Chain A
């Protein structure tokens, strides 16, 4: 918010915000356009990775049978994903996927959370590259798991051919193919991306809108204040969305893996 306020004070940001606001200039080389190796976004990804690695390594350096507070906290994150997502969705076989799901969940949650952390204030997941990577990993993973579990032919048959009368199969098989093998990665990636994109956009609109109204007419100041109050309210909403989307992404991945492992259609 402050960054934007400063920018606006200098007359550099325009209202309404546009897609260009999501593409911040590069940090190294400083200020370069169209250089994406080291931007605020990639820096945040590295910071998220660093925080998670340090947190988990520090809390789990010397695990004890009777956990300390920190160890308990780290364990309960893992235990949540393990028991409430992996085991709930997949069953006992889900335990071996729990480490990946937990990593996925933590990564999405933290990178999403940057959207409402002061001075970060944008989620890397509002750039489709990161949700896309995660979605592709999930996609490859559930297909790989399915083929490993059933064998290629049987897996393809199990996932494409529903138990239905033969004359309806010409209709169902393309639908199944479309929904399982084409739509899934896109829906996963776009759901996360769009939520974070829209969340950032909403916050921008209400924050910058307040400034825009204030600079347009001093008498609109109360409306500006209302706009900023809305920003705060929307930040809470954004927090809900952050947690929800991290959960949904993980649950859907688990659900796809479960579908690939399932014996019946």
Chain B
């Protein structure tokens, strides 16, 4: 390797108040390379990307592009230098249509359209207002917008998170070809499958410092995980499902019983039961009605038909507080939706306690402290920056959203994709927590966009396609191929259809299985 790096950052440091987000981070990317940037929650990946793209300013450090010292002061500077990011959050302005958004950034329209088609969206109306476009598509549009200006270095932050499998596949394909075309890509992801398929090298961050740069080769995962966590961990499946027996033994009335639920055109005739001590998974491609199902059960929207029974008695929710009264708590996938970002960890966790007018009086601070620190301890939330939730890392924020309902002792938790974009260690903790809750007789409805989570966490999984429940599996039968087939609406056991599946998702099940 005698080529000079295209991008060379060394000694990058950034402090937020008393918290060091980056201490001594370095990153060196060669031309034509797809370079993975890895690290546990709060290791500083997002911060580093934001510094490289001029969104925030480093306190110290040197950034060279093609050997030239570069002083990136604004996103426009970074853009001129050929570095373009695609962040986790969609960047299109919601109230403008796609075309106006393109004009705003001076993006050429034709290349953009070409890339959009390339990325697997054949029928985009660029007059559509961004607000009305689903999240998954928006992320792809962000990527297409970046690709259209042909950047030298493309920075992708959790690009495939929240993408349905078919779109993710296309995205990965396009990213790989960027590398082949001599452009560089910095790829942040928690999914080893993608990284091993895509990347040439990986830089690993821990606690704000670069702890290693490795070539991607078979078997490297264990070493990367070790480096990320700083300790040796055993990759284990979550403990045995004692809760299964609880569910059976508990018997009697189901905790939650949904019959013929109808919601406009989004949900059709959805019926299922959730028992005490059971974790039921919901698996679906993007936008199949799972959002509406969760919203209806959480009391956020009113169903147009069907019934919901809690502990055998019918309920009608007109506000989330009705659902909470019935012991049903909703943990949304988007953390920004659940947290008061400028408030402390404690206030965020204790928020439901004050909701009802009869709880508006003086707070019993000591008792609250006990309950809150119990929940913080149980989820092992890193409280270094607890004064404001927005200073926590994504994974810790997610833990706060769950801790709130542990503290409130909710009997049923509706978790919508709670592990999106957080690191392996935290994911494991969340799986374990959900199983423990089930073990205590609580019930969990768990939507996930990652198939392997189904097997780790759930007792049963229902698959939704086009607003209907198309299949229900006991977890033993819910292998990835079966889930995928069901999610695409293919009938179970009809092996003749394998050809269709293979066409839609080439090789993905083989990769995932490895």
**Does A associate with B in a complex?**
no
